[in-house]
Amino acid sequence: MGAGWGRAARAGWVLGLAGDLGAGKTHLVKGIAHGCGLAARVHSPTFTLLNEYDDPRGGLRVSHLDLYRLNGPDDVFGAGLDPWLIEPTGIAVIEWIERWLGPQPVPADGTTPAAPLTPLGRLFRGRLAWLELIDEQTRRIRYEDFGG
């Protein structure tokens, strides 16, 4: 799935990933980067908050953010990460997006949000994906596109 999302990616896309530890967020980011044509080793920026990967052939820049260590929108803005969440250069893939948007309801059927996004979430333009750990070998991914 991630490679397909990467192949379809266009400059300005924001992909927000929500899910528990071990749900597969970083693995999905690796697939997205591969689909964008990147050969770089992708790893989670849990302690650095941001890793950026440039395509040496001049393709899309992939900005990989991990908000796990942040406590909410004030921390995100304080760290200066808001440009990547609102208008990225290339594409931005954000793990723990709920640290910025607040808790987001999981769509019941994969196409319809269970409830409206938070007021801050109305700034979000892109794909919001919920990853759910079913068992050690199985994940469920539901997503919704927002903002056209």
The separation between the first and the last C-alpha atoms of the chain, rounded to the nearest angstrom, is: 21
What are 94-132's pLDDT values in tens digits?
A: 999 988 887 766 666 655 555 556 555 566 778 989 999
Secondary structure (3-state) at 78: helix
Question: Looking at residue 35, what is its pLDDT?
Answer: 92
Helices (H) and strands (E) in the chain, counts: 5, 6
Q: Report the predicted TM-score, pTM, of the whole model to 2 decimal places.
A: 0.87
Show me where the domains of the chain are located. Answer: 2-146
Hey, what CATH topology would domain 2-146 get?
Rossmann fold (3.40.50)
What are 63-98's pLDDT values in tens digits?
A: 999 999 999 889 999 999 988 988 898 999 999 998
Secondary structure (3-state) at 53: strand
**Residue percentage of the chain with pLDDT more than 90:** 48
Q: Contact, 111 vs 88, CB < 8 A? A: no
What are 41-67's pLDDT values in tens digits?
A: 898 898 899 999 988 777 889 999 999
Picking from 14, 5, 4, the residue whose alpha carbon sits closest to that of residue 127 is 14
